Every structure is written in C-alpha cells, then in structure tokens.
Amino acid sequence: MINIGIIGGSGYTAGELIRILMFHPNATLDFVYSTTNAGKPLSVAHHDLMGDIEMNFTDTVNPNVNVVFLCLGHGKSKSFLEQNQFASHTKIIDLGNDFRLTKDKDFDSKSFVYGLPELNKAAIKNAQFIANPGCFATAIQLALLPLAKNEMLTTDVHINATTGSTGAGVTPSETTHFSWRSNNMSHYKTFEHQHLGEINQSVNQLQADYTNELIFVPNRGDFARGIFATLYTIIEESLEDVVAKYEAFYKDQPFVTVTTTGINMKQVVQTNKCIISLMKKGNRLLITSVIDNLTKGASGQAIQNMNLMFGLDETTGLHLKPSGF
C-alpha cells in the first residue's frame, strides 16, 4: 500500500484528493495536515465526507510517508519544504505553481518534473518530485499539443476559457460570493494569466520554433466546477487529417477522447477525463476542450501521476463517471 500525506488539507484540491483516495485500492491515507483545523474531523471542512471517513486533521507530519501531496496556496510550497524535511524515499507531488516552469524546477537538491502525463509520461515514471499542471494549462495544452507535435502551429492561437468558482480556491472573495457570482460572468487576468508560462513551455517542448502568441482570455463562470475552453487558429490541413493526428497522439492516453461532435462540460465533471472536439470553418480550426478543474485539472491528475510513479496502471482509482443530469 502507498502511504500518503496531504499538506494543506482544508482546501478544494485536498478534499478532492481524499474523495478519490478513499476508494483507491493501493492507497492508504496516513495524515491530512491543516494548522487551522488541527484536531477536528475532516468532515468539518469537507462536508461530503461525513459518515465516510473517521480521521482528524493534524498539525504534525509523518516524514516517512511514501508520497506527500502539497495542496498549498501558490508560492507557499517552497517555504513549507524549507521548514519540513521528508525521508529520502518520499515522493512529492506539488499542486501549486512553485515548480512548474523550467527556471523553477530545481530546488534544494530536488528536481521537479512537469506532470502532464500526456506529454511527459516516461519522465514521470522515473521521477521523485512532480509539479502538477495548472487547471487552465491542462485543458489548453491538451487542446494544442497534437498540433505542436506535428509542427502545425504557424499563427497566433486565440483562447477563451471559462472556469468554475472552485478554481479560485476555498477562501471566500468578492468574485466567489454567491450573490456576485450567480447570474454573472466576467473575465480576469486577460492576456497575462499565470498559466501561459507553462502552456508556452510545453508547446515549445514539441515545436521549438513556435514564437507566435497565445492570446488567452480567462473567464469566471456561474458554476462550481469545470472548464470549458475554446481555441481557434489557422490550419490549412483538412479536418480529416487533423483528427487523424489528434487520434494518433492520444491513442495510448486513457483519459483523452477526441471527437468531431459538439461537447459539453457535464460530460467530464467529477472525472479525470478530457474531451476534445475538432471542427473547421474554412481554414480556421476550432478546438473545444473540457475538463473538471478539480480532477483532471488538479487532484485527479495528481493521482494519475502518483500511479505512474509507483508503477501502477495510471487509471487506478480514477474510473469515475460523470453525471449528465
């Protein structure tokens, strides 16, 4: 059994990790660390766990666990690792953005591998430290990587993506307040969202000469979870050729489905799936990519990475079905 610790246990990504790991056949939860809720039952923060798990939050860590998931606010993982040491065998999966970029991947004798399985599966299998991708970054990269692999990106890519309120984290703010969010929509961090760095990095990993712009407008949606992303760019190849390249790229990737039909977000919410729809009008290719921001965009992908790191089938514990109604 894989002995697991979770740091930053009160947030949405930690709650999603617990929900999935409770039924993972090869995992056992050793501790869930939270300084604000130490000594209290997990169900105090994660009401969906009431009656399902008898465990309290703790403010101490077991340094000898097999793997630790860091579910801290962005920029806080480095300071936590500076103050807390783990055993030499402990694998670390960071769900924050501290180590995602190449310039940040090396830290205190640790070298983090960017944990997008559909791009870096071989490296993930041999890694001890993983930087889990961002949620927007996951949806957008999976939409673009087959084009980059085949060096088909030649112009700017226009991206419009909408995320649920859980993408903003568990701490309340003006834009997550129900009376503001309900029946409302807005964009934020237009053209400068922090996930653009890792998206560009992955695109250039496959198509080094791509220097055009990814023009990204992120939106806040009137729903709790999910990401609905649409992208368009100029592609001269036929739709049939494009579809064939996407299917070839993802043929061994169990969580990605390619289609030419219309898709919707409910097809992926509460699952680790990504569905990509391809359509063409003239020489413009429209790519639609849908994921659950908390699962494939965060905790589910982190467990997928854990499975790969421990030599398990990457789908273990992740056979999750969406609810279409």
User: pLDDT (tens digit, 9 = 90+) per residue, 269-303?
Assistant: 999 999 999 999 999 999 999 999 999 999 999 99
The helix/strand/coil state of 312 is: coil
User: Do 231 and 286 meet the contact criterion of CB atoms below 8 Å apart?
Assistant: yes
User: Catalytic annotation on 135?
Assistant: yes
Domain with CATH 3.30.360.10 in the chain: 135-292
Distance CA 60, CA 323 (A): 37
Handedness of CA 114, 120, 123, 126 (dihedral sign): positive
pLDDT attached to residue 213: 96
pLDDT attached to residue 181: 82
Superfamily (CATH H level) for 135-292: Dihydrodipicolinate Reductase; domain 2 (3.30.360.10)
Relative to beta strand 227-234, strand 284-291 is antiparallel
Indicate the CATH number of 2-133+296-309 among 3.40.50.720, 3.40.50.2300, 3.40.640.10, 3.80.10.10. Answer: 3.40.50.720
Instruction: Point out the catalytic residue in the list 130, 135, 142, 256.
Output: 135
Tens of pLDDT, residue by residue over 82-114, are: 999 999 999 999 999 999 999 999 998 999 999
User: Do 287 and 144 meet the contact criterion of CB atoms below 8 Å apart?
Assistant: yes
pLDDT attached to residue 38: 95
pLDDT attached to residue 314: 98
Residues of the chain with pLDDT under 70: none
pLDDT attached to residue 26: 98
pTM above the 0.85 mark?
yes
3-state secondary structure 194-243: CCHHHHHHHHHHHCCCCCCCEEEEEEECCCCCCEEEEEEEECCCCHHHHH
Domain with CATH 3.40.50.720 in the chain: 2-133+296-309
pLDDT attached to residue 83: 93
pLDDT attached to residue 100: 96
What is the rounded end-to-end Cα distance, in angstroms, of the chain? 36
